[in-house]
A = this chain, B = another copy of it.
Amino acid sequence: MSVSLTLALDAMGGDDAPDMVIGGIDIAHRRFPDVRFLLFGDESRLRPLLAARPQLAAACSVHHTPDVVTAEDRPSQALRKARNSSMRLAIDAVRDGAAGGVVSAGNTGALMAMAKVVLKTLPGIQRPALATCLPTLEGETVMLDLGANVESDEYHLVQFALMGADYAHTVRGVANPKVGLLNVGVEELKGNEIVKAAGQILRAANPPFIFHGFIEGDDINKGTVDVVVTDGFTGNVALKTVEGAARMFTEFMSAAYRDSFRARLGFAVAKPALTALRAHFDPRAYNGAVFLGLNGIVVKSHGGTDEIGFANAVVSAINMIAERLTDRIVADFEHFLAEVVPDSKAAAS
């Protein structure tokens, strides 16, 4: 695929970095041979990995830094002290226009704090939000906010709805995304004051997406909507709850497999079907949460992922840059958000 753009990488973030980072961009490079990679990290570790991959090496520039943000660093510490870290320099490259986006598998809190301070929010966006895709019975759904904010008001939820719809449209190719607000019931009178107010705004406005109304927790995996909108507290709990339920199910499946010779035999015969099933839930396929609403694309990979998972995060960042997701959010702000969110221009500045 011929896509010409540049992506910055925190080459030192993640449990198996930098090996898994280099392995991941190598996979992405085969799919997007014209994309350039700016690697920030320890040159003495990166050079040998690239030397073994001459074709990839030709698409990379290495920017040496010995500093790293660790998993233990608090966001505030990382902001103050880690000005020469691989994570910070990769974000700076986006601010300076050297790259259209950045991917990191490092410390989530530090990445969010740094990206927000360095890149700033897009005009009209008061709060950035963390979004990801999840498997559903119908395919996939986008969910946000997953924890960029611990408290949200109704206007924040409206902004999340718009950004989520733009993400579903540009990156997942959903022409007219259906957006639902996560609530404790589907009737208009259900829920807390903030969710009810956000529902009223979206029903009264003429948003550039289909507002489906309220949805409940079981609608997430049912695939009732293309975009699930919620506050960062509820979204974080819901995402991790899905992950925990999936893990319980797969562990019980493994236990059932170990149960008896007969079970092992049966599962061995059924293996192709089980492999397809497992592929559908492969967490690596859903790796990469995007931090939406900033001047630039910021993708957070799971820290514990392998090169296949990291490649998926990189591919998703490339798609968002290529499809000009941030431009679309800005355009939608002018056509829609500016009408419904009071003082959004002032608040964004």
Contacts and interface: CB of A to CB of B under 8 A. Distances in A.
Contact of A259 (B238, B244, B259, B273): B273
Question: Is the interface on chain A under 10, 10 to 19, 20 to 34, or 35 or more residues?
Answer: 35 or more
B216 A237 contact: yes
Interface string A243-276: 1111111011100110110110111111111101
Nearest to A251: B137
Interface in A151-203: 151, 182, 184, 191-193
A219 interface: yes
A191 B262 CA distance: 48
A276 B255 CA distance: 10
Nearest to A230: B237
Nearest to A193: B151
Contact of A244 (B218, B249, B260): B218
A272 B280 CA distance: 25
Nearest to A276: B256
Given A184-B236, A241-B241, A248-B222, A191 B274 contact: no
Nearest to A223: B248
Q: Which DSSP category, helix, strand, loop or mixed, fits chain A's interface?
A: helix
A341 interface: no
B233 A217 contact: no
A221 interface: yes
A147 interface: yes
B241 A184 contact: no
Nearest to A192: B150
B260 A273 contact: yes
Contacts of A252: 137, 277, 280-281
Given A221-B244, A245-B245, A191 B150 contact: yes
A78 to B, nearest CB: 14
Given A221-B245, A238-B241, A269 B266 contact: yes
Given A150-B184, A184-B237, A272-B260, A218 B232 contact: no
Contacts of A257: 273
A267 to B, nearest CB: 5
A99 to B, nearest CB: 29
Contacts of A263: 270, 272-273
A211 B182 CA distance: 30
A266 B260 contact: no
A242 interface: yes
Contacts of A241: 217-218, 220-221, 238, 241-242, 245
A344 interface: no
Contacts of A260: 272-273
Given A191-B233, A218-B247, A260-B273, 18 more contacts: A137-B251, A150-B184, A150-B191, A184-B233, A192-B233, A219-B244, A220-B245, A221-B245, A222-B247, A245-B249, A259-B276, A262-B270, A265-B270, A266-B269, A266-B270, A266-B273, A267-B270, A267-B273
8 contacts: A150-B184, A218-B240, A218-B243, A241-B245, A252-B277, A256-B274, A265-B270, A266-B270
